[in-house]
Structure 1
Amino acid sequence: MPKAKLVILIAGAFLTLQAQAVNLLQLYQEALVNDAVYSSARANLSAGQEASVQGRANLLPLIGISGTYQHAQRDNVPDIKSRGYTLSLSQPLLDVAAWQTYEQSKLSVAASEAAFAIVQQDLILRVAQAYFDVLAAQDTLTALLVQKDAISEQLASAKRNFEVGTATITDTHEAQARYDLVIAQEFGAQNDLAIKRTALQQIIGKAPAELAILRKGVELSAPEPAQINTWVSSAEEQNYVVLQQKLALEIAKREITRNRAGHYPTVDLVASRSDSNQRNSAISSLNSGTGPTSAIGLQWNIPLFSGFAVTSRVRQAIALEDKSRSDLESARRFAAQNAQQAYLGVTSGLAQVKALQAAEVSSRSALESNRLGYQVGVRINIDVLNAQQQLFITQRDLSKARYDTLMNSLRLKSAAGSLREQDLVQINTLLIQP
């Protein structure tokens, strides 16, 4: 008997673990592994980090070896065999264009890292948005089911009152109309929930399990610091899109110098060692060749005229620098706008949540009063139905306001360039098992 009890307890514990709802942080960790957009960005980062290696290669020695082997044979002419090799080394000493290419490659790596950071923040926002969209759809469906039960009771009550003659058929028709309407809304809510779960599945790569829900009556915190100008200033300087455009502008500036280097001389250190040998088969003892030869020296080149191509490329690079500068200003303005909108979204959302919490209490009291008034005959059926619908709308709007406020807090940090996984950890503490 004790063994049987132990087996039951173990099985019960296993089923409890299996039924455990997943939370926001767990889904984010799954998305890090399975999201195709994030995986693509990670591969793109690995590719971008090779730019500095390739740029540095133009400043390092170029070493090569080449060789020849030739067997010549003609009619009435003895065979002649020749072979030789050349080992060469070239080390740039003065090459402005190569140096600017190297500097650009380092900036390109930093730009790749900024682009990856943008995708990282975007993944946090996409996972959180999809998660809260599912919770909002669930809240809507749950509220509709509760409302359907309440209307069903009201419909049954109206029918009973009509049968005993204390109410008109109008009450029954009104309740039936509301019941039919909520049935249609229920189908729509079920479809919306399925769509929202599919959107979440696209990110994590599999059908999501049951989700942990937001704790009832949770208190949401205001932005820290509480000054909008601080967030806007941070967005204008630290937003990753802004950083990316800053790097693009610096690359464009160096591109001008690199193209101007088409007019500058280049100096290389060159060294070589070669040897050749020729043998006549008719006279096996006859070999000829120059013998091993070593050489070292400087090689310089001064461009004089290239058909105005260099001048044209410089003008083109200057125009592209102007474009990059305008793109940077546009990115700054857009980041500042996003920070302002998100900050106002958080502050107004907090006020809205507080107001809707009070409205929920009032709507619940109004529903109870109307139900009591209907029972004693001072209220009609439509009053009760309207009070029920008002409570449902208030509850739906309250849950959505909470989710929107949380999302705006994440968007605010994203605009300021400070959004991290730790922010999801903090929100995750607000979730509980359903």
Structure 2
Amino acid sequence: MSSFFRLLTTAALSAAVLAGGVAASRAESLTDALIDAYKNSHLLEQNRAVLRAADEGVAQAVAALRPIIEFAINGSYQDGNRRSPTQGGYTSTASAELTARLTLYDGGNNRLAIDAARESVLGTRAALLGVEQDVLLSAVQAYMDVFAAIQNVSLAENNVRLITQQLRATEDRFEVGEVTRTDVSLAQSRLAASRSNLVAAQGSLAVAREAYKRAIGRYPGALTGIPRFPALPESTDAARSIAVRGHPDIVRAQHEVTVDELNLARAKAAMRPSISARAGVTAEDDGGEYGSVGLSLTQTIYQGGALYAAERQARVNIQQSRAALLQTVRLIDEEVGNAWSSLAVARAQLEATDGQIRAAQLAFEGTREEARLGARTTLDVLDAEQELLDARTARVQAEADQYVAIYRVLSSMGLLTVEHLGLGIPTYDPRAYYNAVSNAPAKSLQGRKLDKVLEGIGRN
């Protein structure tokens, strides 16, 4: 073996050893991986912040129903010499004004804005649930990829050992004249190929470990193996029915339709009159002080067609969101069908590879025995052994594909969540921040309560 090949093998083997790492003292399950993926996901943190921003939209809409209190301080100075050199002196004035304005009636626009903001919050919550599904499905894929890669490394190592023994036996038979130099060369060639396959398997394991770190937030330790199957519906139709009723993407699209319908009502309300009240008090520097109150009625008569354009735009937006909802339902229905089909294929492949392994095992043992009796060549033995290795490798992949397909079915139904899987960990509560800000609290009045909520979110 060349020094370069030894170096490459050593590096790849080191990657395989690191797969256990320090964490090898405690084997981790798929549940552990899912929990860590949920806790360590920056994507979830990003979308939780998006949801909190949507919560603030409700606070802003609520604030529009409350009075606006403002103050102003005015001062002026006038130099009389600017007008005429013979007229000297100057004048200065100063005043302070405090005013309050409140919209009494606006055609329901502000109330509709609150409803639309709340629907946007519900839609964003559904989108966050969809992100949670993606994070957990990526964790399942990463876990099964590492598990399959470890199994493939083990198979490749066993294959190297077996072919090494086969090469020694062939060399012994060559010494006594039972086989030719060609048989020895074939065994040497196959051993070199098996070592190359081992390095490739170890490299695939190193790649899988990096993908695991991205999905889970850390490198994998020793894996406990294949977990139990989660429960699934009995048929595709049952899975489709569950998906249509509660998939996060469909729920989000439904709320988007409602938002556009409310925005149409707001566009119509913008054409109605509005009534506002105003009260103020002014104090001047000469000691004068006076107050004022008033009502105003305003209505836009003409705005260049902008109001009607806004109404037409709102109607078009409803058409768009309704079509998007129907398309989302169709896509989810297709996703359920594809996931169910992938699961059926994976199960069939797993069953087929089990039969293939049994047949390949018998063929290998029989070929090896026949070769000892001189009825088979070394090449026949090596080919039979390769077929057995291929069958075992195919089974490892089929087993991993089966588990990923099962969780993909759950994801297509909208059920791949921490709550549904029963992972037993505290989850992010989207209502905590909403309840703290939805009534538009003033910082000076409810700042401590809001600060505690934000601190809790930061710890999560």
Label 1:387 to 1:425 Cα distance change in 2 as closer, same or farther (>3 A): farther
The match for 2:124 is: 112
Residues 72-111 of structure 1 aligned to structure 2 (within 5 Å): 74=80, 76-77=88-89, 80-111=92-123
For 1:272 and 1:30, the matched residues in 2 are separated by 57
> Contact conserved, 2:160 with 2:194, CA < 8 A, in 1?
yes
1:78 CA drift (Å): 6.2
Matched, 1:205 2:217: yes
Asked if 2 retains the 8 angstrom alpha-carbon contact of 1:80 and 1:278, the reply is no
User: 1:26 Cα shift?
Assistant: 2.4
Residue 35 (structure 1) shift = 2.6
For 1:284-303, list aligned pairs within 5 A.
289=288, 291-296=289-294, 298-303=295-300
Alpha-carbon shift at residue 422 of structure 1 (Å):
5.8
The partner residue of 2:65 within 59, 65, 69 is: 59
* Structure 2 residue 313 is matched with structure 1 residue 340: no
Instruction: Tell me the TM-score normalized by structure 2.
Output: 0.79
- Measured against aligned partners, the alpha-carbon deviations of 1:305-353 in whole angstroms (never above 9, x if no partner) come to 1101111222222222222222212211111111111112223322332
Measured in 1, the distance between the counterparts of 2:366 and 2:278 equals: 100
Residue 225 of structure 1 corresponds to which residue in structure 2?
Answer: 233
Of 181, 185, 188 in structure 2, the residue corresponding to residue 176 of structure 1 is 188
2:138 aligned with 1:138, yes or no?
A: no
**In 1, are the aligned partners of 2:153 and 2:201 still within 8 Å (CA)?**
yes
Unaligned runs of 5+ in 1: 1-14, 280-286, 427-434
What residue in structure 1 maps to residue 321 of structure 2?
324
Partner of 1:48: 54
1:336 and 1:110, CA in 2 relative to 1: closer, same or farther beyond 3 A? same
CA contact (8 A) 2:167 2:188 kept: yes
Mapped contact 1:237–1:332 kept (Cα < 8 A): no
Kindly provide the CA deviation profile for residues 379-403 of structure 1, in whole angstroms up to 9, marking residues without a partner as x: 2222222221122112111121121
Where do 4+ consecutive residues of structure 1 move more than 6 Å? 15-18
Task: Measure the CA separation in 2 of the matches of 1:315 and 1:57.
Answer: 28
SS at match of 2:414: coil
Deviation at 1:106, TM superposition (A): 0.5
Moved more, 374-383 or 110-119: 374-383
Pair 1:255–1:357, CA change in 2 (3 A): same
Distance 1:358 1:233, change over 3 A: same
Cα root mean square deviation, aligned: 2.5
- Give the one of 276, 286, 293 matched to 2:283: 276
Instruction: Give the length in aligned residue pairs.
Output: 397
Label 1:293 to 1:39 Cα distance change in 2 as closer, same or farther (>3 A).
closer
Distance 1:354 1:425, change over 3 A: farther
2:270 aligns to what SS in structure 1?
A: helix
Q: Corresponding residue for 2:33?
A: 27
1:159 to 161, 165, 171: 171
2:161 maps to 1:149: yes
Partner residue, 2:363: 366
Deviation at 1:250, TM superposition (A): 1.6
- Partner residue, 1:402: 399
What is the CA–CA distance in structure 1 between the aligned matches of 2:192 and 2:293, rounded to whole Å? 97
Deviations 1:223-282 (A, max 9, x none): 6321111111222332111111111122122222222223221222x1413233353xxx
Q: Deviations over 1:132-157 (max 9, x none)?
A: 11111111121111111111111111
CA distance 1:144–1:335, change in 2 (3 Å): same
Query: What is the distance in 2 between the residues matched to 1:16 and 1:88?
Result: 66
**Equivalent pair of 2:148/2:397 in contact (CA under 8 Å):** yes
Matches of 2:104 and 2:336, distance apart in 1? 48
Check conservation: 1:95, 1:267, Cα contact below 8 A.
no
What is the TM-score with the length of structure 1 in the denominator? 0.84
Secondary structure in 1 matching 2:256: helix
Query: Matched residues, percent identical?
Result: 23
Residue 238 of structure 1: aligned partner:
246
**How far did residue 23 of structure 1 move?**
2.5
Whether contact under 8 Å (1:111, 1:247) holds in the other structure is yes
1:353 is matched with which residue? 350
Q: Which runs of 5+ in 2 are unaligned?
A: 1-20, 82-87, 424-460
Shift of 1:425: 6.2
Matched, 1:37 2:37: no
Is 1:252 aligned with 2:289?
Answer: no
SS of 2:399 mapped into structure 1: helix
Superposed CA deviations along residues 93-133 of structure 1, whole A, max 9, x for unmatched, are 23333222211100111111111111111110111111111
User: What is the match of residue 185 of structure 1?
Assistant: 197
Structure 1 residues 255 and 44: alpha-carbon distance in aligned structure 2, compared to 1, 3 A threshold: same
Distance (Å, rounded) in 2 between the aligned partners of 1:275 and 1:232: 67
Q: Which residue number corresponds to residue 392 of structure 1? A: 389
Change in CA separation of 1:385 and 1:422 when aligned onto 2, cut-off 3 Å: farther
Pick closer, same or farther for the CA change 1:209–1:16 going to 2, 3 Å: closer
Q: Secondary structure at the match of 1:214?
A: coil
Q: Distance in 1 between matches of 2:345 and 2:96?
A: 83
Separation in structure 1 between the aligned mates of residue 64 and residue 420 of structure 2, nearest angstrom: 43
Pairwise CA distance, 1:205 = 3.4
The answer on whether the counterparts of 1:70 and 1:83 sit within 8 Å (CA) in structure 2 is no
Q: Confirm or deny: 8 A CA contact 1:96 1:264 kept in the other structure.
A: no
Per the alignment, do residues 16 and 100 of structure 1 end up closer, same or farther by CA in structure 2, a change over 3 Å counting?
Answer: closer
Separation of aligned partners in 1, 2:127 and 2:210: 27
Deviations 1:406-430 (A, max 9, x none): 111111111111112266668xxxx
CA contact (8 A) 2:54 2:117 kept: no
Q: Give 1:208 shift.
A: 2.9
Distance between the aligned counterparts of 2:22 and 2:328, measured in 1? 49
Q: Which residue of 2 aligns with 1:4?
A: none
